[in-house]
Amino acid sequence: MLLEMRMLARERLRSVAQKYRKKITKHNCKFLERIFIMINQQRYGKLYWHVDDRETYLEFQNQEEARTWGIEHYKNWADKYKRVMQMSKSAVKGSLCEIPIECYCGYSYRQINKFLRYEKDDDYHTYRELADILSIVLCSAPRIPHNLVLYRMVNDEFINMLIEKNKQELPTPMQEKGFMSTSLLKNIANETESYASQNNLLKIFVPKDTIGVYVNAVTSRSEEEMLLFPNMYLGLASYPHKDEDTGKILFECQLIKMY
């Protein structure tokens, strides 16, 4: 009887000790969490943009899923686009506007976005023309039918500007005046293209009805590319962390459209 009482008392003491240990651990976790928040706020500023209902955002895990979705929603439009551009060759001679998406996805994207960002063009206003035509083409495409997660590799200069905007006395989202090339897949970070050497990966939460085109329905691309309309804004929606899958620093951003 005495032995049983001692064992019962020991179990009660162990139970009390475990509860006390959990309280201490929970307290320490909350304390460390507050410290991390303070450090992040000092480094990146407070978070003013938030992604509500994250579970409603469609995110693809592999190429087959992404391609199936893209073809389903954009192939019919892409076929019409190709027919119209083919017909335009007989009316518009010697103009790059015959194949605006293909031109952009080649090497013209540099000059087109340079014009949109800095208003620098050649003497013939070639890239103003291309930017206008491409904008009209994107407007003719189906809107993105639901909330969607897209990815984009960016350099340190872009990230520094994103943080600077977020830390201003009056915080503002980062404006992208040019067209925005993005990917339906996170493994864009593993592509052989030069952009994959950048250290920073944006995870962009794109709201439904955004103007964009699944480029692979028009022309062959190694990545599952979505091209978004120019003059969008990106707001920092969470503090960055290292992504285990890619080894990149991941910045979650909310896409803000102004149309």
* Domains of the chain, earliest start first: 56-256 (3.90.176.10)
Mean predicted lDDT score pLDDT of the chain? 87
pLDDT band at 123 (very low <50, low <70, confident <90, very high): confident
pTM comes to 0.86
Contacts (Cβ under 8 Å, ≥6 apart) of 226:
70, 144, 148, 150, 181, 182, 183, 184, 212, 213, 214, 215
Proportion of the chain above pLDDT 90, given as a percent: 67
pLDDT at 19: 55
- Contact present, 201 and 153 (Cβ < 8 Å): yes
**pLDDT above 50: residue 10:** no
Where is pLDDT greater, at 19 or 62?
62
What pLDDT score was predicted for residue 16? 42
Under the banding of pLDDT at 50, 70 and 90, the label for residue 44 is: very high
Number of Cα atoms under 13 Å in the Cβ half of residue 95: 21
Categorize the per-residue pLDDT at 237 as very low, low, confident or very high, splitting at 50, 70 and 90. very high
User: What end-to-end distance do the CA atoms of the chain give, in Å?
Assistant: 80
